[in-house]
């Protein structure tokens, strides 16, 4: 995008190659899409990929022993798959890396697609984004081509809802990094990073904390970390419920998920009047503890902190 307001155009090539809209055209498209999605009883949902829904590592970042272990895990998973189930661990030879989907990724996507219109929005390039979206949604029934990559964003360093069709007041964002959303933090559900591969954990000063380094004990398994995507799903379901069930109680004003996430201000919610103090949920170095899914879940249910 470039120029001043009223003269700029915005490339929307993730929708159709070469598509460019003026400000007025984009605003109109956003309003119409927001109304269409809300009329279907859905919110807009923007999903990050890396460390949020999955974790990838390049072949060169693995030892030969780790490489062999991953191939053995893939073979074992294929043997154990029941009819209709999809694998979570992949060797993508044509791209030179392994990818592991986060536990409950398929269940999460299936559930949110019933109450939200999901987008992928990643800082990765277009080829990577499309490949990952295909792993998560092999039939294309969830994203329907709504995949935004670094190449499509109006900035190469941050993400923004400016190119997402729909309205900010009815959009939720799920991402492991808050700083890439400087204009839209009120929409954010910030989850803990998923590190399956050792190099991934080490690159975030969490050496030894990857699933591979913890005897392959994954999220949701005995001895493992919480099933994070199920926590996030609970927040999304609660926000959706509040938006549509209580939307008419807002003095005639349109409800706003940014308010509902942190201050639903309703006396009939399950945790209304309850004051929470959380300990050990986020690290002391956490920049935005108020965006953690467990805290947001309590907030959407009426708790205060």
Structural element, H or E, at residue 236: helix 228-245
SS3 279: coil
The answer, yes or no, to whether residue 252 has pLDDT greater than 90, is: no
Q: Which residues 6+ apart lie within 8 Å of 107 measured at CB?
A: 229, 230
**pLDDT band per the 50, 70, 90 thresholds, residue 264:** low
pLDDT the model gives residue 249: 55
What are the tens digits of pLDDT across the range 78-132?
Answer: 999 999 999 999 999 999 999 999 999 999 999 999 999 999 999 999 999 999 9
Domain limits, the chain = 9-55+97-300
The answer, yes or no, to whether residue 46 has pLDDT greater than 70, is: yes
Residue 243: φ, ψ to 5°: -65, -50
**pLDDT band per the 50, 70, 90 thresholds, residue 69:** very high
pLDDT higher at 276 or 158: 158
CATH superfamily of 9-55+97-300: HAD superfamily/HAD-like (3.40.50.1000)
pLDDT the model gives residue 251: 62
Q: Which residues 6+ apart lie within 8 Å of 289 measured at CB?
A: 281, 282, 295
The answer, yes or no, to whether residue 199 has pLDDT greater than 60, is: yes
pLDDT the model gives residue 176: 96
Provide the Cα torsion 192, 197, 199, 200; round to 10°: -20
Cα 25 to Cα 9: distance, rounded to the nearest angstrom: 9
**Which pairs count as long-range contacts for 14-21, CB under 8 Å and 24+ apart, including other chains?**
14/145, 14/146, 14/147, 14/148, 14/149, 14/152, 14/163, 15/145, 15/165
Region of 166 on the Ramachandran plot (φ > 0 left; ψ -120 to 50 alpha; else beta): left
The answer, yes or no, to whether residue 1 has pLDDT greater than 50, is: no
pLDDT the model gives residue 146: 97
Beta bridge partners of 183: none
State the burial class of residue 196 (Cβ atoms within 10 Å of its Cβ: 0-12, 13-18, 19+): buried
Which residue, among 130, 68, 107, 89, has the nearest Cα to 231 in the 3D structure?
107
The answer, yes or no, to whether residue 33 has pLDDT greater than 80, is: yes
Cα 95 to Cα 127: distance, rounded to the nearest angstrom: 9
pLDDT the model gives residue 52: 98
- Whether residue 242 contacts residue 300, with contact meaning beta carbons closer than 8 Å, is answered with yes
Cα 94 to Cα 43: distance, rounded to the nearest angstrom: 36
Cα 114 to Cα 40, 41, 142, 165, 174, distances in angstroms: 10, 9, 9, 18, 17
pTM for the model: 0.88
Q: What is the mean pLDDT of the chain?
A: 89
Which residue, among 241, 280, 289, has the nearest Cα to 114 in the 3D structure?
241
Mean pLDDT, range 36-60, rounded to an integer:
98
Q: Which of 69-73, 193-197, 281-285 has the lowest mean pLDDT?
A: 281-285
- Whether residue 191 contacts residue 228, with contact meaning beta carbons closer than 8 Å, is answered with yes
SS3 64: helix
The answer, yes or no, to whether residue 6 has pLDDT greater than 60, is: no
pLDDT the model gives residue 305: 64
């Amino acid at each position: 995008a470039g120029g001043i307001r009223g003269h700029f155009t915005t490339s929307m090539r993730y929708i159709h190659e070469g598509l460019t809209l003026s400000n007025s055209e984009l605003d109109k498209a956003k309003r119409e899409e927001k109304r269409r999605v809300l009329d279907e009883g859905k919110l807009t949902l923007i999903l990050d990929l890396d460390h949020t829904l999955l974790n990838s590592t390049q072949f060169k970042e693995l030892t030969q022993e780790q490489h062999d272990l991953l191939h053995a895990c893939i073979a074992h998973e294929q043997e154990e798959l029941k009819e209709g189930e999809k694998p979570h661990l992949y060797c993508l030879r044509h791209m030179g890396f392994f990818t592991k989907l986060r536990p409950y990724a398929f269940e999460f996507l299936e559930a949110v697609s019933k109450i939200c219109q999901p987008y992928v929005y990643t800082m990765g390039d277009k080829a990577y984004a499309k490949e990952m979206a295909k792993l998560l949604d092999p039939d294309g029934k969830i994203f329907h081509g709504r995949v935004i990559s670094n190449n499509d964003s109006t900035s190469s360093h941050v993400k923004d809802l400016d190119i997402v069709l729909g309205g900010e007041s009815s959009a939720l964002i799920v991402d492991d990094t808050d700083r890439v959303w400087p204009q839209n933090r009120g929409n954010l559900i910030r989850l803990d990073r998923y590190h399956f591969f050792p190099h991934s954990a080490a690159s975030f000063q969490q050496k030894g904390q990857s699933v591979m380094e913890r005897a392959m004990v994954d999220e949701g398994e005995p001895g493992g970390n919480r099933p994070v995507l199920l926590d996030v799903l609970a927040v999304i379901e609660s926000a959706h419920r509040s938006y549509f069930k209580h939307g008419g109680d807002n003095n005639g004003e349109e409800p706003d998920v940014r308010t509902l996430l942190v201050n639903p201000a309703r006396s009939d919610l399950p945790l209304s009047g309850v004051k929470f103090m959380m300990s050990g949920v986020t690290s002391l170095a956490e920049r935005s503890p108020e965006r953690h899914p467990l805290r947001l879940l309590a907030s959407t249910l009426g708790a205060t902190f």
